[in-house]
Amino acid sequence: MQTLFTDLVTLIQSSWLNDVDAATYNALSAVSGTNTIVGTGPTTVTAYAANQRFFFTPANTNSGAATLNISSIGPKNIFWNGVACTGGELRQNIPVLVMYDGVQFHILARGFNAATAAEVNAMTSNSVSLTPNSNKIVLGTEQETTSGTAIDFTGIPAGVRRITVNLSGVSTNGTGSYFIQIGDSGGIETTGYVSAAGHSGGDAGTTGGFIVTVNGVAAATYSGSIILSLQDSSDFTWNAIGLINGAGGAVAYFSAGVKSLSAELTQVRLTTSAADTFDLGVVNINYER
C-alpha cells in the first residue's frame, strides 16, 4: 500500500498551537477586578490588534464603566451594544467573548440574556425601575397621578427605540389638555413639537408637547396609551401616536406628532397645557430597544 503521508508533524510549538486552535489559546487566565479588569493572555499577544477576540470569565459583576487590560498591555474600554458599559453587562462566573476594534473591546457574546444592573436599579425615586423579561419589553415603575403638575420618568437608558406611555384613570383639577413631553440629558423640552389631537367634538394643535387630549374636563378620568417611536437616530427625531378614552367612556381622543431632540432621549413627562394638578389615577411606561 502506498504511504499517503511521508512526514508526520508533531505540534509542539506554542505558536503552532495558537494558529491551529486560536479559540482555546485566546482564553484569558488569572482574571480579576470588577470594573478595572485584568487578565493574562496568550504569550504571543504583545500588543492589541483590530479583530482580536478573547474569552474570559469575569471574577465579579461590573457596577459601572469597565476596562480590560490583557497581559499589562494597557486598559481599554469595554462596550456593549455600541456604548460603554454602565453596569451588569459582565456577570460573575459567566463567560464572555470580546473583540478589539482598534480602539476598544466590544462584547460579542455572553452567557446570559437579561437587562443590565443599571437598568434594573432605579437611579432615583422617580427613575425608571426596570424589570426585564424575555421579549425585551422593559416595564417601568408605576407612578400615582394624585398630586403635582407633572409626572416624570427619568433614567431611560441609551438605545431605546420605542416607549409606550400608559394612563389609567388619570384626572386633574382643571381643563387643560394632556401633554407628553420628552427630553435628553439637557432636560425636558417644552417647545418645538408639531402635534395635534382630535375627537368627535373638536381638535387642537400645539408646539408645547405631544398633545393627547383636547380641552380636558375637570375631574374626568382618562385611560389609554401613547406610543413614542424613534424615527431617526442621527437627529433624535421621535414620532408619537395616541389613543385615549375619556369623559366616562363617551369620548375617544386620537393624536399624532413629531419632535427632534438635541441628544439621545433620557426622560418622558406627563403634564397638561395649563399646569393643572393631578388628583387621581396612575401612569407607567414600558420601552423597547
**What is the tens place of the pLDDT at every residue in 65-80?**
999 999 999 999 999 9
- Whether 165 has a pLDDT exceeding 70, the answer reads yes
- Whether 11 has a pLDDT exceeding 60, the answer reads no
pTM of the model as a whole? 0.57
Q: Between the CA of residue 274 and those of 90, 149, 191, 257, 277, what are the distances in Å?
A: 46, 9, 15, 19, 9
Over residues 87-116, mean pLDDT: 86
Over residues 94-113, mean pLDDT: 89
Between strands 222-232 and 162-172, the pairing is antiparallel
Per-residue model confidence (pLDDT) at position 109:
87
Per-residue model confidence (pLDDT) at position 81:
86
What's the distance, CA 203 to chain centroid?
Answer: 34
Give the whole-angstrom CA distance, residue 11 versus residue 272: 74
Which residues fall within 8 angstroms of residue 277, CB to CB, at 6 or more apart?
A: 147, 148, 149, 172, 173, 174
Task: State percent of the chain over pLDDT 70.
Answer: 81
Q: Which residue has the higher pLDDT, 82 or 282?
A: 282
Dump pLDDT digits (tens) for 249-266: 678 899 999 999 999 999
Per-residue model confidence (pLDDT) at position 22:
47
Dump pLDDT digits (tens) for 119-137: 444 434 455 544 444 447 8
Measuring CA to CA, which residue among 276, 246, 228 is closest to residue 167? Answer: 246
Mean pLDDT across the chain: 84
Which of 5-9, 66-70, 205-209 tops mean pLDDT?
A: 66-70
Report residue 190 as a C-alpha cell.
417644552
Dump pLDDT digits (tens) for 40-97: 998 888 899 999 999 999 999 998 899 999 999 999 999 998 889 988 889 999 999 9
Q: Per-residue confidence at 222, pLDDT binned at 50, 70, 90?
A: very high
Residue spans of the domains in the chain: they are 14-110, 122-288
Q: Which residue has the higher pLDDT, 151 or 113?
A: 151
Handedness of CA 167, 173, 175, 178 (dihedral sign): negative
Per-residue model confidence (pLDDT) at position 1:
46
Over residues 227-231, mean pLDDT: 95
Which residues fall within 8 angstroms of residue 184, CB to CB, at 6 or more apart?
A: 236, 261, 262, 263, 264, 265, 266, 267
Pick the CATH number of 122-288 from 3.30.70, 2.60.120, 3.30.1490, 3.60.21: 2.60.120
